[in-house]
């Protein structure tokens, strides 16, 4: 048996991923045409990206910097002298008849990414290589009836191709890897917007299983998945397909298959015979890509604390659960916001702040355009003040949410004043509480009798009545105590 040993419920399933990520540059990799998505077809082109005779490529230094940043975020070793190669093939969206990529000496190798699996388990996934290459154009099938058009706006846009080691053991682990990869590349390294719909992130996957005899099947490559959910579904289907071929005594062919989302299955695309010989050779128009080690180090040091470390630190320093730590570390600016609000206060306070961030603030962000952050809605100092008022019992969870809403929606500036002006403070005055308790018990004699007869779960019912009368502002502990007292006087 080859490949990683051990199962984790994957029963010998081995998956490797190849991910293409578009770098967030203003211009293309070897010319100064605009690289942004869209534009009237065929307008963002020049002799270089059209491959006209005599045009010469000039590497985009910003693309190089972003590629090194991506490599550093994935803990790769960066080659100080990587090279460009030509990958030759014929296709209508490839005007030069070859793609400039890095084959023999990629920009970076031997990295890793720590992934969180569903069961809270962490696993390191090896990155075999990361290289820089240009994108091809795009075939457009829906512009003219019965004809296919070519849009070369995308030709020459900078990509990094990231290839993992075959160390993922399940479709869910593959999805967890992709979640982590996009989190790192989009929010931490900030090198790409990782938008699958616009094609700035594309995933191909290799998968093989072990059959009943213990032999590993040939691996198949699966393409054409346009969301992480589909990657997971396609891989699950492909795994089950390979298993049933082997169980029936058949042989899995080494081939490329295409995910058909509508049918929910993979279909053969091309077999080994249909494989192209790319005749790679060094790109004669470009010198080696020289990178001073000091420059690489500076880029590495310029990265923020990466999410797997940050999650661990938030859990250790603030006592957050793995779930809360992951939520706070979803983006580095959110983690910074959380820490600014918590300061050096204790774990219970940190938990309260985390609850506000994942509760009312997350809710408010959902209603706003992408790119708006917590700090844009409410400064960390004012959030901390609401957490304090919640903690000292002035606010209940309900009224704390109301105070937050008012502050977030800009109806008020000052937490203390909101509480006062809107009368949000919890009522702890025994006389006022007793009046609500008595009303609640007296207007439900039947339930009171049942409670007295031992139906203790009716306490929830009475608490609900008291809270309704109190507009949610009764101190729950005191109210419960008074309710118990009053109900104990009722005859069963």
Which residues make up the interface to Zn ion (CB under 5 A)?
31, 33, 46, 48-49
Residue 441 binds which entry of Mn ion, Zn ion, none, CB below 5-8 Å type-dependent: none
Where in 359-418 is the site for Mn ion (CB under 5 A)? none
Residue 386 binds which entry of Mn ion, Zn ion, none, CB below 5-8 Å type-dependent: none
Query: Using CA atoms, how far apart are residues 471 and 61, in angstroms rounded to an integer?
Result: 61
Quote the least distance from Cβ 388 to Mn ion, whole Å.
Answer: 53
H/E element holding 260? strand 255-260
- Give the residue with the Cβ less far from Zn ion, 27 or 396: 27
**Strand, helix or coil for residue 27:** strand
Quote the least distance from Cβ 60 to Zn ion, whole Å.
Answer: 11
Query: Using CA atoms, how far apart are residues 436 and 446, in angstroms rounded to an integer?
Result: 18
Residue 161 binds which entry of Zn ion, Mn ion, none, CB below 5-8 Å type-dependent: Mn ion
Residue 173 binds which entry of Mn ion, Zn ion, none, CB below 5-8 Å type-dependent: none
Quote the least distance from Cβ 267 to Zn ion, whole Å.
Answer: 36
Quote the least distance from Cβ 103 to Zn ion, whole Å.
Answer: 23
- Give the residue with the Cβ less far from Zn ion, 48 or 205: 48
Query: Using CA atoms, how far apart are residues 107 and 158, in angstroms rounded to an integer?
Result: 14
Where in 203-242 is the site for Mn ion (CB under 5 A)? none
- Give the residue with the Cβ less far from Mn ion, 129 or 180: 129
Where in 145-204 is the site for Mn ion (CB under 5 A)? 161
- Give the residue with the Cβ less far from Mn ion, 114 or 161: 161
**Strand, helix or coil for residue 143:** strand
Residue 400 binds which entry of Zn ion, Mn ion, none, CB below 5-8 Å type-dependent: none
- Give the residue with the Cβ less far from Mn ion, 161 or 232: 161
Where in 322-361 is the site for Mn ion (CB under 5 A)? none
Long-range contact list for 145-153, CB < 8 A, 24+ apart?
A: 148/92, 149/41, 150/92, 150/93, 151/41, 151/42, 152/41, 152/42, 152/45, 152/49, 152/50, 152/93, 152/95, 153/33, 153/38, 153/39, 153/41, 153/42, 153/43, 153/44, 153/45
Q: Which residue is nearest to Mn ion (CB)?
A: 161
Quote the least distance from Cβ 316 to Mn ion, whole Å.
Answer: 39
Query: Using CA atoms, how far apart are residues 244 and 173, in angstroms rounded to an integer?
Result: 22
CB 235 within 8 A of CB 222: yes
> What is the total count of residues that contact Mn ion (CB under 5 A)?
1
Quote the least distance from Cβ 48 to Zn ion, whole Å.
Answer: 5
Residue 261 binds which entry of Mn ion, Zn ion, none, CB below 5-8 Å type-dependent: none
- Give the residue with the Cβ less far from Mn ion, 20 or 469: 20
Residue 46 binds which entry of Mn ion, Zn ion, none, CB below 5-8 Å type-dependent: Zn ion
Taking the C-alpha atoms of 162, 163, 165 and 169 in order, what is their torsion angle to the nearest 10 degrees?
90
CB 174 within 8 A of CB 205: yes
CB 256 within 8 A of CB 269: yes
Site string for Mn ion, 106-145 (x = CB under 5 A): ----------------------------------------
Q: Where does 102-236 show beta strands of DSSP type E?
A: 108-116, 122-134, 138-144, 147-151, 158-164, 201-208, 220-225
Would you say the C-alpha torsion 466, 472, 473, 474 has a positive or negative sign? positive
Residue 339 binds which entry of Zn ion, Mn ion, none, CB below 5-8 Å type-dependent: none
Quote the least distance from Cβ 187 to Mn ion, whole Å.
Answer: 24
Could you give the C-alpha distances from 332 to 187, 318, 327, 337, 430, in angstroms and in order?
7, 16, 11, 9, 46
**Alpha helix stretches (DSSP H) within 197-292:** 228-247
Residue 33 binds which entry of Mn ion, Zn ion, none, CB below 5-8 Å type-dependent: Zn ion
Quote the least distance from Cβ 395 to Zn ion, whole Å.
Answer: 59
- Give the residue with the Cβ less far from Mn ion, 161 or 186: 161
Query: Using CA atoms, how far apart are residues 368 and 123, in angstroms rounded to an integer?
Result: 34
Quote the least distance from Cβ 47 to Zn ion, whole Å.
Answer: 7
Residue 31 binds which entry of Mn ion, Zn ion, none, CB below 5-8 Å type-dependent: Zn ion
Quote the least distance from Cβ 62 to Zn ion, whole Å.
Answer: 15
- Give the residue with the Cβ less far from Mn ion, 44 or 87: 87
Give the single-character DSSP code of 109: E
CB 187 within 8 A of CB 330: yes
- Give the residue with the Cβ less far from Mn ion, 83 or 382: 83
- Give the residue with the Cβ less far from Mn ion, 160 or 404: 160
**Alpha helix stretches (DSSP H) within 248-306:** 293-301
Quote the least distance from Cβ 280 to Zn ion, whole Å.
Answer: 23
> What does residue 133 show for φ and ψ, rounded to 5 degrees?
-160, 165
- Give the residue with the Cβ less far from Mn ion, 101 or 170: 101
Q: Where does 12-117 show beta strands of DSSP type E?
A: 14-22, 77-78, 81-82, 85-88, 98-101, 108-116
Residue 49 binds which entry of Zn ion, Mn ion, none, CB below 5-8 Å type-dependent: Zn ion
Quote the least distance from Cβ 51 to Zn ion, whole Å.
Answer: 10
- Give the residue with the Cβ less far from Mn ion, 100 or 336: 100
Catalog residues that contact Mn ion under the rule CB under 5 A. Answer: 161
């Amino acid at each position: 048996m080859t490949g990683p040993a051990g199962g984790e419920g994957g029963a010998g399933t081995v998956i490797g991923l190849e991910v293409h990520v578009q770098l967030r540059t203003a211009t293309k990799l070897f010319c100064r045409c605009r690289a942004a998505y869209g534009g009237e077809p065929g307008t963002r082109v020049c002799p270089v990206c059209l491959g006209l005779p005599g045009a010469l490529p000039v590497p985009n230094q910003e693309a190089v910097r972003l590629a090194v940043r991506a490599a550093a975020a994935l803990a790769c070793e960066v080659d100080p002298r990587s090279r460009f190669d030509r990958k030759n093939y014929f296709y209508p969206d490839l005007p030069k008849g070859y793609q400039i990529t890095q084959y023999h000496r990629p920009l970076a190798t031997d990295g890793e990414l720590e992934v969180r699996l569903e069961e809270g388990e962490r696993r390191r996934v090896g990155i075999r290589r990361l290289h820089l290459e240009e994108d091809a154009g795009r075939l457009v099938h829906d512009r003219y009836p019965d004809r296919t058009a070519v849009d070369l706006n995308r030709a020459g846009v900078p990509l990094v191709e990231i290839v993992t080691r075959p160390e993922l053991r399940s479709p869910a682990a593959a999805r967890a890897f992709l979640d982590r990869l996009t989190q790192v590349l989009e929010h931490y390294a900030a090198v790409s917007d990782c938008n699958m719909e616009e094609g700035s992130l594309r995933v191909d996957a290799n998968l093989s299983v072990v059959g009943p005899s213990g032999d590993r099947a040939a691996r198949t490559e699966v393409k054409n998945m346009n969301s992480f959910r589909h990657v997971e579904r396609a891989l699950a289907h492909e795994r089950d397909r390979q298993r049933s071929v082997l169980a029936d005594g058949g042989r899995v062919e080494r081939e490329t298959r295409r995910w058909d989302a509508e049918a929910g299955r993979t279909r053969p695309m091309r077999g080994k015979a249909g494989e192209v010989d790319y005749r790679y050779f060094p790109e004669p128009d470009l010198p080696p890509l020289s990178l001073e080690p000091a420059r690489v180090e500076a880029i590495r040091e310029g990265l923020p604390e990466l999410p797997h470390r940050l999650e661990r630190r938030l859990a250790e320093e603030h006592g957050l659960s793995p779930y809360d730590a992951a939520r706070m570390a979803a983006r580095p600016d959110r983690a910074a916001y959380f820490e600014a609000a918590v300061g050096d206060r204790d774990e219970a306070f940190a938990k309260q702040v985390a609850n506000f961030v994942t509760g009312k603030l997350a809710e408010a962000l959902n209603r706003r355009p992408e790119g708006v952050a917590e700090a844009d809605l409410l400064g960390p100092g004012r959030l901390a003040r609401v957490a304090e008022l919640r903690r000292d019992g002035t606010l209940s969870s309900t009224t704390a949410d109301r105070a937050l809403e008012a502050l977030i929606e800009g109806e008020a500036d000052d937490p203390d004043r909101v509480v006062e002006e809107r009368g949000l403070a919890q009522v702890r005055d025994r006389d006022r509480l007793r009046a609500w308790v008595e009303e609640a018990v007296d207007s439900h004699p039947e339930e009171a009798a049942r409670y007295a007869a031992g139906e203790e779960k009716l306490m929830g019912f009475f608490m609900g009545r008291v809270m309704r009368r109190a507009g949610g502002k009764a101190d729950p502990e005191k109210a419960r105590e008074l309710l118990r007292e009053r109900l104990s006087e009722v005859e069963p």
